[in-house]
Amino acid sequence: MANRIKMIGIGDEGRQSLLPLYEKIIGNSEVLVGGERHLAHFPEYKGEKIPVKGGIGVLADRLVQESRRVVILASGDPLFYGIGGYLSSKMDLEIYPYFSSIQLAFARMKESWQDAYFTSVHGRSMKGLAQRIDGQIKIALLTDEENSPSKIAAYLKSFGMTEYRAFVAENLGGENERTGWYELKDMENTVFSPLNVVILKKTGPSPEWPFGIPDEEFSQRKPDKGLITKREIRTLSLSELKIKPDSTVWDIGTCTGSVSIEAAKLAREGAVYSVEKNEHDLVNCYENMKKFRTDFTVVHSLAPQGLGEFPDPNAVFIGGTAGGMDDILDVCCSRLKQNGRIVLNAVTVESLSGAMEAFKERNFKVSVTLAQISRSKPILQLTRFEALNPVYIITASRKEEI
């Protein structure tokens, strides 16, 4: 137990942030691991220094074999979006955290933080951030040099999220610490230190959209207005997909994006990937994405082309196959994750028959709902019903998983 690897959190001010006990632990160690700026705080260190560069997995493999006394230095709280969580799953660690940058930022802001939503764009794409944070009262964002506060401001403005103000905390605990409130338009045009934290606070109402967004709210193709998956069919199909908050969803034949948009709101912590063959429909799709504050991946392609770029799905919605059903199902069925589901909408009995046969050939169990929807219409002072086209909602999953 004496040789257990120790991980110590360190602040931006370097050695000044360390307790005397931690200084002693570092002094008694034989190997010191950390980022270059962390190691630079210990120029007199006598043991071996190992800078953290490249893949963390390689470092973990090396440290598992290490018999010497090792100390790993990490920024702030190593278990808060840091390397502590990963390394502790690979080896026996003693962890001594410092204040997290988020904790310090809220202290400078003088507000509580137990009710905040936390997320990170550090070292990762901002794709999907819009639906994750939309409507949240208080949001804490870890940033990086690429996803800077100015980039975040431009991103939020592109989705009309101007009800948010931002508190930016730079170089927390260091000599060049700077904090302040910004409107998005000001933050977009300000240069910040690479070491910063952004806290967004909602100062006005956000638009709210119920599950089953009314059809007329979507931008649609004209003059053929109405070429979308109708609300009633959309809600039934999405219900059959059993989308979870972290699901990966494919939408094949997304058209105006109505299914993808609702799926993205259900899979806020997941991701949605869509394919559409008609370029003019994509114009409406992108417009709808901005309006409904959803940020998903759309590829202009005729499926199954384009699907190879996507990660394996938990749920697949197929709104149209354009005559390529077998090729599309080959890809979808082979790549569907365990316990995943595929929902295919068909409007002809020939498509229904073909889909059922194709799923059975691939050892999938199939259930079908025939949705015959009628909507009320005024006629003089009376009310009549007007029928929508009947739709077969075909749900498929692997037999052994039912």
Q: Tell me what pLDDT residue 385 has.
A: 96
C-alpha closest to that of 11 among 107, 90, 94, 86: 107
324 pLDDT higher than 80: yes
Instruction: Give 223's pLDDT tier (boundaries 50, 70, 90).
Output: low
For residues 34-49, average pLDDT: 93
pLDDT at 225: 55
Of the listed ranges 32-36, 154-158, 275-279, 323-327, the one predicted with least confidence: 323-327
Concatenated DSSP letters of 24-82: HHHHT-SEEEE-HHHHTT-TT--SEEEE--S-HHHHHHHHHT--S-EEEEEES-TTSSS
pLDDT(27) > 60: yes
The CATH architecture of the domain made up of 215-401 is 3-Layer(aba) Sandwich (3.40)
pTM exceeding the 0.75 threshold for the entire prediction = yes
Domain boundaries, the chain: 5-99, 102-202, 215-401
Q: What distance in Å separates the CA atoms of residue 296 and residue 289, rounded to the nearest whole number?
A: 8
Digit-coded pLDDT (tens) for 279-320: 989 999 999 999 999 999 999 999 999 999 999 999 999 998
Q: Which H or E run includes 156?
A: helix 149-158
Q: Which CATH number does 5-99 carry? A: 3.40.1010.10
Give the pLDDT confidence score for residue 2 in this predicted structure.
45
End-to-end, the C-alpha distance of the chain in Å comes to 47
Write the class of the CATH domain 102-202: alpha beta
From the DSSP assignment, how many helices (H) and strands (E) are in the chain? 13, 19
The mean pLDDT value of the chain amounts to 93
Residue 224: pLDDT band with limits 50, 70, 90: low
Q: Band the pLDDT of 1: cuts 50, 70, 90.
A: very low
Spatial separation of the C-alpha atoms in residues 333 and 92, rounded to whole Å? 41
Per-residue confidence (pLDDT) for residue 227, from 0 to 100? 67
